[in-house]
Structure 1
């Protein structure tokens, strides 16, 4: 499968938001309330990506993976106030998982972070119950931290943990 990774643009907002929502609905079906996943989530993701990718909001960097001109996955990274680089999102089309796209996006993100912010740690936050994602990150050298409680504005809590790459 030929994958091309390129910088994301405002024109990608809708497709990225749709994939983001599909990924959450698949990965978090037994972790987050169905009322949230099937409710406001899609609208929240649409608003998030329109804001992130609109000119004048350069908080982070989006890279999209395409296969045959279609969105296969994406990664979004942002420098944080503590000087580390946060992988705020890494998602692959649910039907394209386990073919190497996530690994390619992760390596691309690491390369970008090393070039733009040399010597800075890269990290992400992952739900503790999302064991396939944790295993993926560990296979790629990530080190899990201690569990903690994540509070969602929709009124529920889940346990997450930080995974760090020095």
Structure 2
């Protein structure tokens, strides 16, 4: 099940954020960088994000949060483009369609706000980047970034938002 997150979810979202980074990036980023990540340090950022706009959470069969996603106006481009800021899902719940459902909720929210496209940045070494290609994402650029003293490439994908007929 997917639902809109509430302020009380901030601590759990922060824990999942750190856990999923460690699961996903362990062989991509330096261990010391990942080991210093702290859910406590991320919680305040998630409280701010929850106050600014919708964050969607995925729940498992026991109603525990296992992933989250959010988006909004592009931080880099013009006013017609949205951005997927984050989509993180615990590895134990990947491959079951949950990530797609989270992604769909963010895209639908962006459509309702009249964005014509959505960008998402993902590390080139992250095998999950092909997720976005499966759902219409087209690679538009690659930018060097540094994390923990290691040079990486962040790939930017663009997804055209077809108007929803559910409104």
The SS at the match of 1:98 is coil
2: CA distance between counterparts of 1:119 and 1:160?
23
The partner residue of 1:135 within 130, 135, 143 is 130
Per-residue CA deviation, residues 81-103 of structure 1 (Å, 9 max, x unaligned), is 52221111001121011011001
1: CA distance between counterparts of 2:23 and 2:57?
20
Q: For residues 119 and 52 of structure 1, do their structure 2 counterparts lie closer, same or farther at Cα, with a shift above 3 Å needed? A: closer
Question: What is the TM-score with the length of structure 2 in the denominator?
Answer: 0.85
Q: Could you tell me which residue of structure 2 aligns to residue 79 of structure 1?
A: 73
Q: Could you tell me which residue of structure 2 aligns to residue 125 of structure 1?
A: 121
The SS at the match of 2:72 is strand
1:29 aligns with 2:23: no
1:146 aligns with 2:141: yes
Give the alignment of 1:3-18 within 5 angstroms. Answer: 4-18=1-15
Give the alignment of 1:95-134 within 5 angstroms. Answer: 95-116=92-113, 118-131=114-127, 133-134=128-129
The count of aligned residue pairs is 156
1:63 aligns with 2:38: no
The SS at the match of 2:57 is strand
1:45 aligns with 2:39: no
Per-residue CA deviation, residues 5-54 of structure 1 (Å, 9 max, x unaligned), is 1111111101101111111001111111111110134344223213323x
Q: Could you tell me which residue of structure 1 aligns to residue 164 of structure 2?
A: none
Q: Please list every run of 5 or more consecutive structure 2 residues that lacks an aligned counterpart in the other structure.
A: 161-167
The SS at the match of 2:19 is helix
Q: Please list every run of 5 or more consecutive structure 1 residues that lacks an aligned counterpart in the other structure.
A: none
